[in-house]
Structure 1
Amino acid sequence: MSSNFKEKDNKIKKIMFLFFFILFLLIILIISIFDTIEDYRRLPSLETSKKELAVRGDIISSDNFKITTSKKIYKASIDTRHLDENKKELFIKLFSIYSDIPYKKIENKIDESLKNAPGNLVLSYNIDSKTAKNLKELGFKLRRLKVFKARQVPGGKILRGLSITESGEKRVYSYENTLTPVVGYITKFETKNDKTRVKGIKGLEKEYNTLLNNSKDGILSGNRDVLSYISFNRNSTIKQRVDGASLVLNIPLKLQKNNEMVLDIYKKKLEAQEIIVSIMDSKTGKVLSLASSNRFNPERIYQKDIPSLNVNAVEYQYEPGSVIKPIAISLVLDKNRIKKNELLFAYNTKDRANKEGEFPRGQFKLGRFIIKDDHRFKKHYLTLDDIVIFSSNIGTLQFAQRLSGPEFFEGMKRFGFTRKTGIDLPYEKKGSMPKVWQFSANDKKEEDNVYKATVSYGQGMTATFMQILKAYSAFNNDGVVVTPKIVSYIEMNGSKYKEDKIKDERIITKRTADEIKRLLIKTVDKGTGKAAKIPGLEIGGKTGTAQIARGGKYLKKYISSFFGFVNDGEHSYTIGVTVMDPVSKGKYWYYHYASWSAVPVFKEIVNNLIRLNYLSPKKDIISTKD
């Protein structure tokens, strides 16, 4: 009996011991949680919200490469009042390893803060997302190592360790200077909540700035638990972030880079100030390439890059020279004021022949001015073909005089001069022409008008590269000009949007366009554009070499151009090349002529189109059209 009683007593004691042991562990756990709340955090409010930063949209090539994109950046900070002095060196070493920021740089920042103003210290504003994730993990490890200590504040204790928070966005240009200056560049600004944002200053970044920045931050809101994590329920709010719209271009990256390589080679060879090239689909206006030899890296712009920041294809106005001749002649043809097989006097009479008895270059007296031809014709009378193929100033101006001042002015205006092209780039210039009244002589015969004559061969007016390219599209598109477009469509919230298409405009009749096209093809076959010829392709174009005018005077500097087209029966492209200030003295003085500078570049650009399968030469295409 006593034995059973003792056995029961022992069991009760064991149960009591186990009960009190469990109670003891439970008390320790409660104290531990309470200490964690007191030592490591302020008591959280019941409701909280967290924003997820949205970023600016991308610019994407037609072959799906991101030319530029935005990435979130993070801020790493500590409160130096919580940093354990004995573990400062450990923190600096670990943070330096995880962040790849030099040890000495971090040490100097912390020492300066501790000495002058202990408190919140930003160690870096420019942490990328991968590094930010690693640093957050480091933050938990630092707590375990007790690198930071709690501070007594009114109402309890707090502890602040390593803080990693979103600080804004950074614009990244993956291919450095590719497609600049067209893509443009940005500037940074700070929002009211101290976030770093960007906005476009030039190029596509500027033109589409509002759409690219049309973003909405994400929001997570709800009650949070003792560990400050948001617990989601039906009363919570979840709004996903919406990044800005993306631009998808008509320009493929590979073609653009190949063209830029060509320009880099020829800029060096020709010692040119700049070379500009563009390829445009003659039927749709899609710009497949707009390249310059003068480029820069938008992430690192230096003083030397300042002259390269402008898109000179639309911002630089210059006297275009002889590339205007086919345009002027087309206006006369369209009025049926050139007869078939008509002959014009070349003004190269034998009485001015040189000692060898060769035909002299033509000289035409216009008022007090003498207009000269560069080409030495071996006959006294010129056909329309002679005038275009060998670029006769005298023949062109005689045709131009058959139009009245208003007819000539309005015709040039219809072709796009003194008007913007409509291309999707900012700061486009319009160029200039003499006013209507200047084209019509008041006290002299109309045929003595100087302005009309000089403008007919590209002097006394200014235009942009893109205006000329657009005008030339008419000759390869049945007399209709197309509007150049760089952006194919805009992608927003998973949907694609196209801007309203600008209506194409008929400038001349198909009959006139076909005749000019025939003449431009013949210019490549037999005239000043022979170096552009490629078997199996229909190629036409016109050279132009103009002196640079500055301060009312012509300098001994030149702008050489070749504008034309190339067709293979399936594809049809209008192409322009302009070489700014090529070498014009010394051993290679002749490089300033377009036939030696712009035309070879044109041919290389066409070869790029062939290599990348944008053109396929055909055996049955015979380029000559007589």
Structure 2
Amino acid sequence: MSSNKIEKINKTKKIAILFMIIFLFLLILIISVFRTITEYRHMPTLQSEKKELSVRGDIVSSDNFKIASSKKLYKASIDTRHLSEDKKELFLQLFSIYSKIPYKKLKKKLQKAKNKPGNLVLSYSIDSRTAKNLKELAFKLRRLDVFISRKVKGGKILRGLSIRESGEKRLFSYEDTLTPVIGYISKFESKEGTTKVKGIKGLEKSYNKVLNESKDGILQGNRDVLSYIAFDKDSVIRKRIDGATLNLNIPLKLQKNNELTLDVHKKKLSADEIMVSIMNSKTGEVLTLASSNRFNPEKIRQKDIPSLNVNAIEYQFEPGSIVKPISISLVMDKNRIKKNELFFAYNTKGKANSKGEFPKGKYKLGRYTIGDDHRFKKHYLTLKDVVIYSSNIGTLKIAQRLTGPEFYEGYKRFGLARKTGIDLPYEKKGVIHSVRQYSAGDRDKEDNIFKATDSYGQGITATFMQMMKAYTVFNSEGYMSTPKIVSHLLHDNSKYKAYDNKPEKVISKETALRMKKLLIQTVEEGTGKAAKIEGLEIGGKTGTAQIARGGKYLKKYISSFFGFVSDGENSYTIGVTVMNPNSTGKYWYYRYASSSAVPVFKEIVQNLIKLNYLTPKNDIISKNK
């Protein structure tokens, strides 16, 4: 046989052997795949559901700062039956580094679980950034064989470190800012076993339903052998929808500046509390509602408990002389005050002092004697004198010109003894006397004691916010607007108006403008002089009342100044109330609003100027002069 033939046969054999090797390799591969398919074919088809937890909505200031928000919390857990005994120490060290949970604390948990092997929760309060790092750690732990597979019926399973959403935590980014108005929350466990929150006070309470109106995101479908969800026509996919976002009318910068102002004056006056509010008179938008008594909703302490209530709507007090413009304007609106009419001051008993001032007026009404705090250089007062010098006697004599029903209905129309409608819970109404009590003496045209005392703010109670709402009347041509803190809501990409504010007609435009002029003169010439700022139109009324408790008046005082400010383009109603300023010894004058509430009012106006809400103008200076 020739060498060529032998070479050809050898070549053929080599090719045959090569094909045989390839065939055997393919056969082994086919058998392996077949066995794998057969092994898993009998495993049950499992439904898998992955949830993305929704959270409570945010509360955002008008200048777009998050006052309150929620962040997700994650749960870190392992199945101790899958943790390799040889790699336990490695796991503890790595998990402690990634989670920042002390090593000793983790080791103690693991030791406690030794008698009950199975699922072990290492932490319920992992934040989102740490959760992301721990998920990366979970992948690394698998590669390091820290967790081992366990045989189960139908195959093997491997469970490593699990990081899942467990609930939410409420954050208050600016700590005590806008408290107690913003309110506070408490935690509860949902039906699904996750941590949720609900509002207890303030805006968190009044808007609790919409803040929590959320839906978890869901991915649901059959799970394949690698534990991934296989999507088909029967799968469920639902996007996550968080609770509604509350957008406030209050800008954070203005609120914060005003709170700092109150902190300074509270210390100076040694007051129990100072409250201030700024409102847009025509729209009812509340730009500031601040208190000197605040708390951090994330860290409420025992001493914070008295500060949890929104005293602007929950504390009822005798308003004092700030009510006088209300009672007088009701008579003016009935055209029962003559032009240039004079009112007797009841101050003729006794001689004038060295300044030419007569004794303080005294008026006898039944068994009561009502006096004035101010000395006058004359025996007869004009309407202007009555208002700018805050005459009790002049006010009560004017108020007697109203019948009982007219007086009662007028006070109710101004918002006394009824809720303001502000979007805060637990609002109180205050108290005025009944129509029957106001009507006593109407038939015989006798002076009525209830009309008398109530006309100058003694014997009735009101809230701070009721007086704010009432004073919008004088600054908006006789109309009264409901105060609102929330501007609008955003939910699931839709915008909703929080309210439809329809102003109420209270008195005529002419009456409102006449009273407005008198209140401006009170600042120009009367008890509100300390509020004057050149280039701005400022009007208002002081009021000082004693605190009543147990049917008796204490030697404690509440001083207030309510009014308005305008630069010709922008106009705001502002109220200040100082609760129990130090009025003893050399500080006796702090009891009077002119020395306590009025200076606070002026600084609040200066804050508005500083932040460009107001611009003083020369033409207003010349007009007021």
TM-score between both structures, scaled by the size of structure 2: 0.94
CA distance in 2, matches of 1:131, 1:621: 59
Query: What secondary structure sits across from 2:618 in the alignment?
Result: coil
Alpha-carbon offset, residue 389 of structure 1: 0.6
User: 1:410 is matched with which residue?
Assistant: 409
Looking at structure 2, the residues matched to 252 and 118 of structure 1 have their Cα atoms a distance apart, in angstroms, of 54
Distance in 2, matches of 1:417 and 1:71, equals 42
**1:176 Cα shift?**
1.5
Aligned in 2, Cα 1:303/1:202: closer, same or farther, shift over 3 Å? Answer: same
Q: Which moved more, 1:232-241 or 1:245-254?
A: 232-241
| Partner Cα distance (1:439, 1:107) in 2 | 76
Contact kept in structure 2, 1:181 and 1:296, CA below 8 Å: yes
Checking the alignment, whether the CA contact within 8 Å between 2:43 and 2:154 is kept in structure 1 is no
Structure 2 partner of 1:2: 6
Contact 1:521/1:623 (CA < 8 Å) preserved in 2? no
Deviation at 1:445, TM superposition (A): 5.6
- Partner of residue 536, structure 1: 535
1:497 aligns with 2:496: yes
Kindly state the Cα deviation for residue 67 of structure 1 after the two structures are TM-superposed.
Answer: 1.4
Amino acid at match of 2:13: D
TM-score (norm 1): 0.94
Q: 3-state SS of the aligned residue for 2:407?
A: helix
Farther-moved stretch of structure 1 (303-312 vs 222-231)? 222-231
Partner of 1:127: 126
Other-structure match for 1:622: 621
Aligned residues between the structures = 621
CA distance in 2, matches of 1:592, 1:23: 102
Structure 2 counterpart of 1:13: 17
Distance (whole Å) between structure 1 residues aligned to residue 623 and residue 342 of structure 2: 22
Q: Any idea what SS the aligned residue of 1:560 has? A: strand
> What is the deviation of 1:605?
1.0
Cα RMSD of the aligned pairs, angstroms, is 2.5
Cα 1:448/1:157, change in 2 over 3 Å: same
- The equivalent residue for 1:557 is 556
Q: 516-525 or 131-140, which moves further after superposition?
A: 131-140
- The answer as to whether partners of 1:44 and 1:226 remain within 8 angstroms in 2 is no
Superposed counterparts of 1:30-179, under 5 Å? 45-114=45-114, 116-153=115-152, 156-179=155-178
Aligned residue in 2 for 1:236? 235
Name 2:284's counterpart in structure 1: 285
**Alignment correspondent of 2:373:** 374
> Are the counterparts in 1 of residues 441 and 448 from structure 2 also a CA contact under 8 Å?
no
User: For residues 33 and 134 of structure 1, do their structure 2 counterparts lie closer, same or farther at Cα, with a shift above 3 Å needed?
Assistant: farther
TM alignment of 1:560-575, pairs within 5 A: 560-575=559-574
Query: SS in structure 2 opposite 1:508?
Result: coil
SS, match of residue 81 in structure 2: coil
Change (3 A) 1:30 1:155: closer
Q: Report the Cα offset of residue 291 of structure 1.
A: 0.9
CA distance in structure 1 between the partners assigned to 2:400 and 2:441 by the alignment: 15
Is the CA contact 2:486–2:498 (under 8 Å) kept in the aligned structure 1?
no
Distance 1:552 1:198, change over 3 A: same
**One-letter code of the match for 1:10?**
K
Could you give the per-residue CA deviations for residues 349-382 of structure 1, whole angstroms, max 9, x where no partner exists?
1436569985211111111111111111121111
CA distance in 2 between partners of 1:31 and 1:133 (Å): 38
Structure 1 residues 517, 259: closer, same or farther in 2, change over 3 A?
same
User: Could you tell me whether the CA contact under 8 Å between 1:76 and 1:163 is conserved in 2?
Assistant: yes
Superimposed CA distance per residue, residues 319-369 of structure 1 (whole angstroms, 9 cap, x where no aligned partner): 111100111110111111111111111111143656998521111111111
Contact 1:73 1:166 in 2 (8 A): yes
Q: Give how far 1:8 is off.
A: 2.6
Q: Which AA in structure 1 matches 2:288?
A: S
Distance 1:33 1:302, change over 3 A: farther
Distance 2:559 2:539 in 1: 17
Residue 392 of structure 1: aligned partner: 391
Alpha-carbon contact 1:531-1:599 (below 8 Å) kept: yes
Q: Which of 419-428 and 116-125 deviates more?
A: 116-125
Q: Is the 8 A contact 2:342 2:381 kept in 1?
A: yes
Which secondary structure does the structure 2 equivalent of 1:514 belong to?
helix
CA distance in 2, matches of 1:132, 1:389: 65
Aligned equivalents of 1:31 and 1:57: distance in 2? 53
Structure 1 residues 322 and 158, CA, compared in 2 at 3 Å: closer, same or farther? same
Taking a change above 3 Å as real, the CA distance of residues 194 and 490 of structure 1, as seen in their structure-2 partners, is same
**Unaligned 5+ runs, structure 2:** none
Mapping of residues 540-619 of structure 1, within 5 Å = 540-619=539-618
Structure 1 residue 34 displacement after superposition? 10
SS of equivalent residue, structure 2 residue 241: coil
Equivalents in 2 of 1:542, 1:199: separation in Å? 41
Paired residue secondary structure (2:45): coil
SS in 2 for 1:491: strand
**Whole-angstrom CA distance in 2 between matches of 1:620 and 1:213:** 51
The match for 2:450 is: 451
1:421 maps to which residue?
420
| Structure 2 residue aligned with 1:317 | 316
Give the structure 2 partner of residue 342 of structure 1. Answer: 341
Q: Cα distance 1:43–1:555, how it changes in 2: closer, same or farther (>3 A)?
A: farther
CA deviation digits over 1:523-544, x for unaligned, max 9? 1111111111111110000011
Q: Is the 8 A contact 1:277 1:292 kept in 2?
A: yes
- Looking at structure 2, the residues matched to 34 and 288 of structure 1 have their Cα atoms a distance apart, in angstroms, of 71
CA distance in structure 2 between the partners assigned to 1:543 and 1:602 by the alignment: 11
CA distance 1:180–1:23, change in 2 (3 Å): farther
SS at match of 2:82: coil
**Amino acid in the other structure paired with 1:16:** M
Tell me the distance in 1 between the aligned counterparts of 2:85 and 2:372. 87
- The 5 A counterparts of 1:209-358 are 209-351=208-350, 358=357
Question: Given the superposition, is the C-alpha separation of residues 305 and 32 from structure 1 closer, same or farther in structure 2, using an over 3 Å criterion?
Answer: farther
Contact 2:350 2:358 (8 Å CA) reproduced = no
- 1-structure distance, mates of 2:444, 2:491: 61
- In the alignment, the residues of structure 1 paired with residue 181 and residue 111 of structure 2 have an alpha-carbon distance, to the nearest angstrom, of 46
How far apart in 1 are the matches of 2:424 and 2:301?
23
The range that moved more, 268-277 or 215-224, is 215-224
CA distance in 2 between counterparts of 1:212 and 1:289 reads 22
Structure 1 range deviating more: 396-405 or 2-11: 2-11
1:32 Cα deviation from its structure 2 partner: 9.5
Amino acid at match of 2:402: L
Change (3 A) 1:46 1:418: same
Query: Aligned partners of 1:172 and 1:157: how far apart in 2?
Result: 43
Bigger CA drift: 479-488 or 343-352?
343-352
- Matching residue's letter, 2:490: E
Residue 382 (structure 2) aligns with: 383
Task: Determine if contact 2:404/2:442 at 8 Å carries over to the other structure.
Answer: no
AA at the equivalent of 2:74: Y
Q: Aligned partners of 2:236, 2:179: CA distance in 1, in Å?
A: 42
CA distance in 1, matches of 2:38, 2:591: 84
Aligned letter for 1:74?
A: Y
